[in-house]
Structure 1
Amino acid sequence: MKVRGFIGILFLCIQIGLIVHARFIPERFFCWAPYDQHTKFQVFVSIDGKTLSPEETVARYKYKMKGWEQRSIDNIFSLISQYENTYGKDDNAQVTMIYSTNGHDEKKWTFKHE
């Protein structure tokens, strides 16, 4: 019985530690931390001077590229960066995102190749 209690307490302590950790990192993929950011955004992509349509941009990243994001906007930065550094690395895509988090002033994010 003591082993089960120890395992239960250890599990809860690990969960609390992960929640606290998630509050201090931009991406919050696997945590119980609340989604306290709401971001309005739009992504623009051009390849070899041709601007992709919204439909082509969604097909490229397999995720919405305009609208509201309830989670951290860093999740979308990460999604785009991962795609462009792997599958799209030879496309030389120019990616720009215009976004506003929690109603604040608009910001501009530009993907930079590694």
Structure 2
Amino acid sequence: MEVYFKLISSMPSTTGLRLTQNDDIIYQTFRDRFKELDIKSLTEETLKCDEAKIKWRQYCNDMQENVEDFNFATLLRLDSRSDYSESNTIVVPRVQFVAIEVARNREGLNDGLNELFK
């Protein structure tokens, strides 16, 4: 995750950054199913409450062919404007990390990190 953060914090804009060859389907399916999810600043509750677990489990299973090692534990930043830290990190399946970070990149939420973390 350190490598990923160094990458996104070195670019003025991440809107064109691709994480996988399947970013388009991952993003479209994610936004179709999680229209209201505020990915700028997440909480553990929004990701791990019972209702969210059901939706995420179905999404992860449906996307398993699109993300290599889709269920490997991966660190996700809760607040898109902050670095990885103990208070800003949660462990999620890799496919969940990819979906949220692809969306953050496409929606411009990771833009400008290069100015914040010079």
Identify whether the pair has TM-score above 0.5, normalized to the shorter chain.
no
Max Rg structure: 1
When you count helix as a share of all residues, which structure comes out higher? Answer: 2
**TM score, norm. by length of structure 2:** 0.31
Greater RCO, CA 8 A, separation 6+? 2
Q: TM-score, normalised by structure 1?
A: 0.32
